[in-house]
Amino acid sequence: MSGWRVPGYTELRVLGEGGQGRVVLARHDATGLPAAIKYLAESLAGDEGFRTRFRAEAGLLRRLRNPFVTQLFGLVEAPDGAAIVMEAVDGASLKAVLAERGPLEPEAALTVLKGSLLGLAAAHDVGIVHRDYKPANVIVRGDGLSKLIDFGIAVDAGESGRSGTPVYMAPEQWRDEPASPATDVYAAACVFFECVTGRRPYTAEDRAGLMGRHLTAPIPVEDVPEPLRPLIERGLAKNPWDRPLGATGFVAELESVASGAYGARWEARGVRTLAGAAAALSMLFPLTALGIASGGAASGAAGTAGAAGAGAGAAGAGAGGAGAGGAGTAGAATGKGVLGALGAKGTAAVAGGAAAVAAGGGAAVYVATADEAPKPIVARLAALSEPRQDMGGGMTFQAQGQIVRVTGGAAALNQKINQALRAPLEQRWTKTRNGLKDVGSGAYTDVVRPQILMRTDRLLSVWYTVTLQGQRGSGWDTPSAAVVDLRTGTLYRPPGLFRAATPQALAPFDARIEAHMPGGDYCGGGADQAAPPGGADTPSKFVNTGDVAMALTPKGVRVAFHAGLLGYTMACGTQDTVVPYGEVDGLLKPALLAAVRVPSPKRS
């Protein structure tokens, strides 16, 4: 084959090819270990725009270290071409499995969804949206476990664009709106539907018809088994706010549904079914077909770096190939990984948080290194004055007051954090405007007063007290809150604060909230007040609802809601309390508890 090649590798077979490039299976000459190499098409090698996108894909993969995501070994660039060297995964695509087997049993469908969702969750945790989750990008290995591949059109959360595979694109992608983890959840629900039924949820004769179906058609829940319908309804919701806000929440709902419907051993049965389906396609496995051992591919080892001797100081980012067995070996001077293949002579330079090692022939390899010391991020109150909007019928709406904004960090990260800090207010304003269309008249002003509840080196927790001025009844002054990861810009809404975000899993949290209300009851006690409807076993009412504000404080979780909006007596008004961490440490995500950096009191 003509064209530029990564030095030190022998190509074995083409794994895939398209207009923007091809992926080949290759053997590292120095070690004999396999790797997958994704080449930028020769016709695009001179296009700086495509090279920038290629580097961006490598940059996204560099941020991900997870056994359910294909691992990056290095980005190789030369004047004549560019290539991403990554782990070679031995398995068959879910697309091939479905074509061979047809619909999967529910346990198998749930299992394959879980494995690839864990890969998505790893991406979401660092602020990445995949945007192209589909059966062709899920690899089912011989052991029945699945792995997520191809981050070619992935973006940081908040970026817009209509990129994606149309049959799996979420409504917000069709509308060219910002992508979020909920965008990937929609695609995953489409794939899950296809796994169970053997067909896609929406089809049409052309792109315009398909867009209309995704935007407005009813969700075809009647085509899936009854226990699975809540997953489909939530995952395919037209409004991203009505879906689980990320893969972590979707996994929690999946596990809850699967355990309830198919018993405690549902996953073991699903893995066996998937392993059998994959085994029937074993000759399609790229490593197996060539007689190359695949144990390392299953392990997800990242190979050896061999860069430290050249001054890069990198660890665990080499291209030894799948199965190299662990992270990079510091101090290895020659013969290991991409850098060893390109030659021992090189000059190290640090740019953009990665080590760029120039090697023979004008090639360069970019490998992961420790990030530079982050710039300090400063949170301040800023003026908020939105243009007054005409809602028709003589009504207008405007937001005024203050909002929390950050400065000091990298520009892209600052933008993501500030968007996350504003997002709960945007959701409130949309709901308020929609509600006023039926009952309001005249001018309305939402006055926002922020309070920074907590600021650590990892988290920023903000509370917004909001008052709606204008002619209206009660129930419009519920607060909003935002908990934001300062390293990634991730917004933790109420479901995202918890290990498992299902109504059943969070039922104990309701009792903790009630116990800390004045008088130990939601409305301050008293026989004349309405008791929580449904009794103590009622699933939590504080999950996936925009009517509840939750934020982290140095002492515990602050919770506020208007009782009337959740089915209690309207006269109860807004309920606001703090639940100590010692009472909910088993419910919250451990990483968030660690980021708060306060000792958790022992239970008495």
Alpha-carbon gap, residue 459 to 361, rounded angstroms: 45
319 with 71: CB under 8 angstroms? Answer: no
Segment 192-215 mean pLDDT: 92
pLDDT above 50 for 323: no
**Sign of CA pseudo-dihedral 352, 353, 358, 359:** negative
64 with 44: CB under 8 angstroms? Answer: no
Q: Which two tokens stand for residue 241?
A: 């706010």
**Nearest to residue 517, comparing CAs of 582, 575, 584, 556?**
575
Please count the other Cβ atoms lying within 10 Å of the Cβ belonging to residue 499. Answer: 14
Residues in Cβ contact with 467 at an 8 Å cutoff, skipping those fewer than 6 apart: 446, 447, 449, 477
β-strand partners of 468: 446
Distance separating the N- and C-terminal Cα atoms of the chain: 72
Please count the other Cβ atoms lying within 10 Å of the Cβ belonging to residue 505. Answer: 19
Longest dimension (CA), the chain: 84
Strands 354-358 and 364-368 come out as antiparallel
pLDDT above 50 for 73: yes
Alpha-carbon gap, residue 73 to 61, rounded angstroms: 9
Residue 69 DSSP class:
B
> Please, how many CA atoms are within 13 Å of residue 512, restricted to the half-sphere of its CB?
21
Which residue stretches of 281-358 are H helix? 286-289, 295-299, 337-342
309 with 332: CB under 8 angstroms? Answer: yes
Q: Which two tokens stand for residue 544?
A: 């996936």
Name the packing angle between helices 181-197 and 106-125 (round to 10°).
170
pLDDT above 50 for 334: no
**Nearest to residue 491, comparing CAs of 551, 574, 560?**
551
For residue 201, what pLDDT is reported?
94
Check if 132 is active-site.
yes
Q: Which two tokens stand for residue 55?
A: 């580097």
Mean pLDDT of the chain: 75
Helix (H, G, I), strand (E, B) or coil at 142: coil
What's the whole-model pTM score? Answer: 0.53
Please count the other Cβ atoms lying within 10 Å of the Cβ belonging to residue 209. Answer: 12
Alpha-carbon gap, residue 485 to 460, rounded angstroms: 7
**Nearest to residue 552, comparing CAs of 585, 521, 574?**
585
pLDDT above 70 for 361: no
Helix (H, G, I), strand (E, B) or coil at 75: strand
Alpha-carbon gap, residue 251 to 261, rounded angstroms: 15
pLDDT digits 0-9 by tens, 429-440: 988 888 888 787
For residue 446, what pLDDT is reported?
93
User: Which of 211-215, 251-255, 424-428, 485-489 is modeled with the greatest confidence?
Assistant: 211-215
**Nearest to residue 386, comparing CAs of 448, 464, 454, 336?**
448
Alpha-carbon gap, residue 577 to 373, rounded angstroms: 37
Which residue stretches of 440-570 are H helix? 507-515
**3-class SS letters over 378-430:** EEEEEEEECCCEEEECCEEEEEEEEEEEEECCCHHHHHHHHHHHHHHHHHHHH
Query: Among 132, 150, 156, 510, which one carries the catalytic annotation?
Result: 132
For residue 329, what pLDDT is reported?
28
pLDDT digits 0-9 by tens, 247-298: 888 888 888 888 888 887 888 888 887 777 666 666 667 777 666 654 433 3
Confidence of residue 398 (pLDDT cuts 50, 70, 90): very high
Torsion-angle region of residue 362: left (phi > 0), alpha (psi -120 to 50) or beta? left
pLDDT digits 0-9 by tens, 572-584: 667 788 999 888 8
CA distances from 176 to 98, 169, 425 (A): 30, 11, 21
